[in-house]
Amino acid sequence: MKRIMTIQDISCVGKCSLTVALPIISAAGVEAGVLPTAVLSNHTQFPKFTFCDLTDEIQKISDTLHSLNIDFDAVYTGYLGSFEQLSLVGDFFDRFSGAKVIIDPVMADNGVLYRGFTPEFAASMAKLCAKADLIIPNLTEASFMLGIPYNPDYDEEYIRGVLKGLCGLGCRSAALTGIGFKPEEIGVYYYDSESDSYFSYFNERLDAQFHGTGDIYASATVGAMMRGKSTERALSIAVDFTLECMKKTLADPHHRAYGVNFEEALPYYIELLNEEK
């Protein structure tokens, strides 16, 4: 069984970060180690929340795991909340150098940075992304890391240029999420710098937005990659699974606004993983 380490925060209530990464990756038949960077009572889209910073534990956990000769097939990071955490996670990548590195640079959406982040943080995140085999930003995050204006009126040529720019940071490959060239479609556009090749995959765009779908998408991608799927197939599976999560949620008259019913869609995810493609 493959084993990964995912490094991000955990909310006691709220379907995001570790509370989706752990079950989704486990459902893929992959051992999911977790390194919590913070514990929140609930995620930050609620009117109030508690926050316990675990930055001081990261190095101690890394030291202990390394001393026990525990290794990982991949290290996958999500929300990282400070410059110090970026530095510590970079050291973790170097220490466990045999692992594939997948970074979801969670920090912005819809043209703006999340509360507490700055352009200087985005520049530091870009340096961390140089260590990655695959990064999975949305267009806003990509724009901040590249220091270019956010352009929602893009065409395919523009997206290809952004992807090349992201790989110019040093990462081997990059996948832009939330991309679509028609009103009815949304999906992913991917570039592999080693083969100088592009790939895109789209599915239905729903008239709805939910917190945590980016975390679900990245986690589903990691699980599929660790199951032996090509990066292109893993990215496609994640598009279809995220759409199914949203459909299950919208079909539930009692759904909660703070996240999607991904639990109900896990059998579909497993079905996609078991397809011979």
Whichever domain contains 249, its CATH number is: 3.40.1190.20
pLDDT, tens digit, for every residue of 71-93? 999 999 999 999 999 999 999 99
Which tens digits make up the pLDDT trace of 27-50?
999 999 999 999 999 898 888 999
Band of the pLDDT at 176, cuts 50, 70, 90? very high
What domain range includes position 15? 3-274
Q: How confident is the model at residue 277 (pLDDT cuts 50, 70, 90)?
A: low
Q: How many domains does the chain have?
A: 1
Mean pLDDT over the full length of the chain: 96
Q: Does the predicted model carry a pTM greater than 0.85?
A: yes
pLDDT score at 16: 95
Task: Please report, as a single letter, which amino acid is at residue 2.
Answer: K
Cα separation of 275 and 268, whole Å? 11
